[in-house]
Chains A and B, each alone.
Chain A
Amino acid sequence: MDRMPKWADVLLVPAISLVLAFAISSVVILLIGENPWAAMKLMVTGALGSTYGWGYTLYYATNFMFTGLAVSVAFHAGLFNIGGEGQATLGGLGVALVCLFLPWPHWSLALAAAVLAAAMFGALWAAVPAWLQAKRGSHIVITTIMFNFIAAALLNYVLVNLLRPVGSMDPASARFAPEMRLPRLGEIVNGLGLPFAKGTPANVTFLIAVAACFAVWLLIWRTRLGYQIRAFGKSEKAAVYAGISPVRITMYAMLISGGLAGLMATNQVMGEAQRLLLNSVEGAGFIGIAVALMGRSHPFGVFLAAILFGFLYQGGAELALWTKIPRELITVIQALVILFTGALDNMVRRPVESLFLIARKGAR
C-alpha cells in the first residue's frame, strides 16, 4: 500500500508544489516586465534580512498560525471550514468588547480575558454552521461562506452604529486604554539582553500561537477526542459504527476550529491596531486554508507554513514599496499554493509515486 516513504509525502510533494507555484509566479513577474530574481532577493532581504523584517514576518505568521490551525482541526474531522474570516471578525468584536468596556489593571489580565472572549466569539460564530451541518445536513462550506458575509455586515453595523466614537467618521472603535497595550516581541527580546528591532507589531501573542500549535498537536494525537476527530474524518461510517456521534464530533471540531480562528483577532486587534477596525482580518482566514494545506494539517507543518506565508506577506509589502510589483502578487502565490497543494495534489503526487515505484523496483 505504501507507495512512497513518509518524508516524501510530508516534505517532497509540498516542496514540489511550492516550486511550481513560485515558477508560475516568476513567469507572471516576467510578464509585467520585472526581474523575478531581483524580486525574490528583495523579498528575502526585506522579510528575513533584518530583525525589523523578522518582526513583521512573525507578526503575520502569528495570524496565519491561528487560522491555519483552525482549518487543520476542521480538516482532521473531514470538514472544510472556509469561515475563518467571519470567525476571526467576530473574535475581534469579542476582544474589543472586553478591552473597551471592562477596566483591567494590567495587560496580562486583559490578554487572558481577550483570548477567552476571542475564542468564545469565534467558536460561537462557527457553532451555527456546525449545528446546521450536523443536524440539518446543510453543506458546511456554503454556510460558512454565507456566515463570512453576514459577519462582515454585522461588524459594519456594530462599528458604524454602536462602537464608533461620537464625532468620528471612521468606522472603527475607540482606542483601547494604554494599559491594554501588549508587550512587543522586540521589547521582550531586548529585555533578555539581545538586540531586536523595536517598533514592529510582533507581540506576545506569537508565544500564544506557538502554544496553540502544541496544544492542537496534543489534542489531535494524544487525546481521545482527537482520535475520534481523526477517525470521523477518515471514515464517517466506520466512526459511527464505532460509536462516535457525528453530531458531537462535528460540533466539537468546529467549535475548536472557530475558537482558533477567533484567537487570530487577539494579535491584530489588541497586539497591533489597539482598536477594532472594519477590515481587521485582512484575508488571514483564507490564508489559513493555504497554510493548512501546505502544512499537511500537522501543527508543526502549520507552524512552518505560517512563517513561510508571513515571509511572503512581509516580502510582498517590501516589493510593493520598492518596485512596481503590487502586493497582490502574494494573492497569486497563495492561490497557486492552494491550487497545487490542494486541488492539483494528484498531479504532483502521481509522478512522484511512480518514480518511487520505479526506484524501488530498480533496487530489487
Chain B
Amino acid sequence: MDFATLIQILDSTVRLATPLLFACLAGLFSERAGVFDIGLEGKMLIAAFASGAVAAVTGSVWLGLCAGMLGSLMLAAVHGLASITFRGNQLISGVAINFLASGITVLLAQSWFGQGGRTPPLAGAARFQPVNLPFAGQVADVPVIGPVYAELISGHTILVYVAAACVPLTWWLLFRTRFGLRLRAVGENPAAVDTAGVSVIGIRFAAVAICGLLCGLAGAYLATGLAAGFGKEMTAGRGFIALAALIFAKWRPWHALGACLLFGLLEAVGNRYQNIDLGFAVLPVQFMQALPYILTVVILAGFVGKAIPPRAGGEPYVKER
C-alpha cells in the first residue's frame, strides 16, 4: 500500500467515523444519565430524512440541519416520556422508535417526493460543502505533511470539525461542570441525587434531549454531508455500531473518539477492498462488516477488559415515599 492510498483510506475513515461519533456521544449522554438508548438508529434516520427533505425543498442546508435536529428531538421526547415519565421499558421504547423512524421516513418520503422513498438529490447550498483550512492549497505539495494537512485534516465539511470539537466539550461538560457531575450521579445513584434536592427527572430529560440533538447532527451529516440526499434505511445499522462503539469506549468520551475512528477505519477498509489476503488466509468482506459487532461481543464478555455500564442504567427512578 502506498502513501497516497493510505491517506485516502484515512480520509474516508474520518468521514465515516463522524456520524458514528455524533451518535456515540449522544448515547453517552443518555446512558450516563441512566437511560439506555437503543433508538439511536431511529433518531439518526428521522434526522437524515428531515434534513434531506427540508434541504431539498428550501435549498438551505442550515434549515435542513435544524429540521433534522428537531425531528430527532421529537423522537427523543417520546423516549423520555416512555422511559422517564411513564417508567416503561427503555429497551422496548428504543425498539419502537427504530421501527417508527424506519416506517415513517419511507412513508413520508414516498408521498412527498414519489421517488421510491428517497428525497431529490441535493446540490449546492442544500449540501454541506468542504471547508478548506488556511494554507491547505499552499502546503499540499510538501511531502508527507502536505497531503496529511491538505487531504486528511482540511477539506471536510463543517460537521466533521463540530464532531471533533464535541469530544473535548463532552468531556468538559461531564467531568468539569456541576451539571455533568449531577448527570453522572443520576446514572449511578439517582436516590442520592434526589436526596440532595436535584430533580432526577429534569436531569434525565436534559440528557435525553442532548442525545436527541446529537443524533440529529449525525443524521443531518449522513444526508447532507456524506451523501447527497436521504435514501431508504440510509443509516444501515450505524446507530448500532455507535452503540457498539459506546460499549467499546466504556462510556468515556475520548475513548469514544478512538472506538469510532477504529470502526470508521474498518468500514473504510471494507469498502475499499473486497477480500483481504493475509497470506495465510483470506478475510472475506463480510467478515470485515461483522467485525465491529464481533469485537463488541468480545468486549461485553469481558475477555478484553470489562465494560461496566452506569449502575442505574435501564432502571426507571421511583421516588421513595
- Residues of A at the B interface (CB closer than 8 Å) are 28, 31-33, 80, 82, 128, 132, 136-139, 141-143, 145-147, 149-150, 153-154, 156-157, 160-161, 286, 289, 293, 324-326, 328-336, 338-339, 342-347
Q: Are B88 and A143 in contact (CB under 8 A)?
A: no
Closest to A329 in B: B107
In the assembled complex, 24 residue pairs joining A and B whose CB atoms fall closer than 8 Å, in A order, are: A32-B108, A136-B301, A138-B300, A139-B300, A142-B300, A143-B297, A147-B297, A149-B289, A149-B293, A150-B297, A153-B290, A153-B293, A160-B286, A293-B92, A328-B103, A328-B110, A330-B103, A335-B98, A335-B102, A335-B103, A342-B89, A343-B96, A344-B82, A347-B82
Do B93 and A331 have beta carbons less than 8 Å apart? no
- Asked if residues B297 and A132 are in contact (CB atoms below 8 Å), the reply is yes
Q: How far is the CA of A334 from the CA of B107 in the complex (A)?
A: 14
Give A32 to B96 CA distance when docked, in angstroms: 22
* B38 contacts across to A, CB distance below 8 A: 141-142, 145
Closest Cβ of chain B to A161, distance in Å, is 7
Residue of B91, B294, B297 touching A141 (CB-CB under 8 A): B91
> A329 CA to B111 CA in the complex, in Å?
12
Number of A-B contacts (CB under 8 A): 155
**What is the bound-complex CA distance between A19 and B289, given in angstroms?**
41
Q: Give the residues in chain B near A82, CB-CB below 8 Å.
A: 91, 95
Closest A-B pairs by Cβ, 6 of them: A331-B103, A335-B99, A343-B93, A138-B300, A342-B92, A32-B111
Does B117 lie at the interface of the complex (its beta carbon under 8 Å from any beta carbon of A)? yes
With a cutoff of 8 Å between Cβ atoms, the chain A residues found around residue B99 in the complex are 286, 331-332, 334-335, 338
From A137, A139, A289, contact of B95 by CB (8 A): A289
Q: Which of B212-261 contact A (CB under 8 A)?
A: 237, 240, 243-244, 247
Query: Which residues of B, 119-150, contact A by the 8 Å Cβ criterion?
Result: none
Q: Contact check: which of A145, A293, A328, A338 meets B107 at CB < 8 Å?
A: A328
With contacts A146-B297, A324-B111 taken as known, whether A137 is within 8 angstroms of B302 at the C-beta atoms is yes
- Chain B residues lying within 8 Å of A338, measured Cβ to Cβ, are 92, 95-96, 99
Quick one: closest A residue to B41, CB to CB? A145
B side interface size, CB within 8 A? 46
| A128 CB contacts on chain B under 8 angstroms | 297
- With an 8 A cutoff between CB atoms, is B83 at the interface? yes
B289 and A339 form a contact (CB under 8 A): no
Additional 13 contacts, C-beta under 8 A, given A80-B89, A332-B100: A28-B104, A132-B297, A132-B300, A136-B301, A149-B240, A149-B293, A154-B286, A157-B286, A293-B92, A328-B102, A336-B100, A339-B97, A342-B88
Evaluate contact between B102 and A343: CB separation under 8 angstroms: no
Q: Is the interface of A mostly helix, strand, loop or mixed?
A: helix
The listed residue with most A CB atoms (<10 A of its CB), out of B110, B289, B290, is B290
Instruction: Report the separation of the CA atoms of residues A58 and B293 in the bound assembly, to the nearest whole angstrom.
Output: 35
- Determine whether B74 belongs to the interface, using a CB cutoff of 8 Å to chain A: no
Residues of B near any A CB (own CB < 8 A):
38, 78, 81-83, 86-93, 95-100, 102-104, 106-108, 110-111, 117, 237, 240, 243-244, 247, 284, 286-287, 289-290, 293-294, 296-297, 300-302, 309
What's the dominant secondary structure at chain B's contact region? helix
| Inter-subunit contact A344/B81 (CB<8 Å) | yes
- With both beta carbons as reference points, the residue of chain A lying nearest to B106 in the complex is identified as A328
B297 proximity list for chain A (CB < 8 A): 128, 132, 138, 143, 146-147, 150
Which B residues are in CB contact (< 8 Å) with A142?
38, 243, 247, 296, 300
With known contacts A28-B107, A338-B99, A157–B296 Cβ distance under 8 A:
no
Residues A342 and B103 in contact, CB atoms below 8 Å apart: no
Q: How far is the CB of B20 from chain A (nearest CB, A)?
A: 15
Residue in chain B with minimal CB distance to A151: B290
- Judging by beta carbons under 8 Å apart, are B284 and A32 in contact? no
**Minimum CB–CB distance for A16 against chain B, Å:** 14
Is there contact, CB below 8 Å, between A146 and B293?
yes
Query: Contact: B87 with A80, CB < 8 Å?
Result: no
How many Å from the CB of A36 to the closest CB on chain B? 13
Name the contact of B88 in the complex, choosing from A139, A328, A345 (C-beta under 8 A). A345
**Cβ–Cβ < 8 Å partners of B88 in chain A:** 342-347
Cβ-defined contact, B82 with A154, below 8 A: no
Bound Cα distance from A320 to B162, whole angstroms:
41
Q: Is the CB of A32 within 8 A of B301?
A: no
Once A136-B302, A286-B99, A289-B95 are accepted as A-B contacts, the answer to whether A343 and B104 lie under 8 Å apart by CB is: no
Q: How far is the CA of A150 from the CA of B297 in the complex (A)?
A: 10
Is the CB–CB distance between B309 and A153 below 8 Å?
no
Q: Please, how many angstroms separate the alpha-carbon atoms of A156 and B78 in the complex?
A: 35
Asked if A153 and B117 make an inter-chain contact with CB atoms under 8 angstroms apart, the answer reads: no
A342 touches B93 (CB 8 A): yes
Residue of chain A at shortest CB distance from B104: A332
Question: Measured between C-beta atoms, what is the minimum distance from B35 to chain A in Å?
Answer: 12
Q: Are A138 and B104 in contact (CB under 8 A)?
A: no
Chain A, Cβ-Cβ closest to B309: A139
Distance between Cα atoms of A80 and B96 in the complex (Å)? 14
B73 to chain A, nearest CB (A): 17
Q: How far is the CA of A343 from the CA of B314 in the complex (A)?
A: 12
Q: Closest CB of chain B to A260's CB: distance in Å?
A: 19
> Complex Cα distance A146/B89, Å?
20
The residue in B89, B95, B104 that gathers the most chain A C-beta atoms within 10 A of its C-beta is B95
